[in-house]
Amino acid sequence: MLEQIQKIVEQYYEVFPEETGRHPLLQSQLSAGDELTSRKNFRGHITTSATVLNRSATRVLLIYHRFFDLWLPPGGHYEGDASLWESSTREVEEETGVAPIELHGWAKGCLVPVDIDSHPIPMNAEKSEPAHVHHDFRFLAIANEEVVLVPQFKEVEAVQWAPIRALRDSCDTRVRALHTKLSRLNLL
């Protein structure tokens, strides 16, 4: 799996060469051969998410995450799925009930995430987890907004198809940065 992650990171930097120095911890862990797929690796580990747009790209699928108390694109820990893309689609289906989802045409069939976001996660006493880092591989996807939404109430308080401006207007800087990047790429 480490080789797959390294290949995706290399492809990502080919698409976004200006971000080559953006992920020093991820690069260090890849070089060291760290077990990035284990959620017990509290130096940093892989998560996947999908920014799911409706077919007209006017709405985005969001979850209200209980722990973070924020509206976010669906996502979660990599759990040994065959690929990071498949992990992101599993998370979307588990958290929202939306399936199937398709890789957005922007990725041109090469399964490159639209963003890789390394960010700190605070300690979670309920799960006995210390503060750590998530390296979130954020894919861009399309789905039918007519599918019945079914929240996974363990971690998700609510699910909605929100207007695209919800990304831009989010109180979370990472979500706003995602909107900025999607806008810059003319994907919204």
20-64 tens-digit pLDDT: 999 999 999 999 999 999 989 999 999 999 999 999 999 999 999
What pLDDT shows up at residue 124?
85
Domain count of the fold of the chain: 1
Whole-number Å distance between alpha carbons of 186 and 54: 16
The average confidence (pLDDT) of the chain is: 92
- The CATH number that applies at residue 11 is 3.90.79.10
Whole-number Å distance between alpha carbons of 17 and 6: 15
What pLDDT shows up at residue 154?
79
User: Residue 12: which of 91, 110, 90 has the closest Cα?
Assistant: 110
Q: Determine the Cα angle at 143 with ends 64 and 75, to 5°.
A: 40
- Domain span at residue 173 reads 2-184
pLDDT at 162 over 90: yes
What pLDDT shows up at residue 69?
87
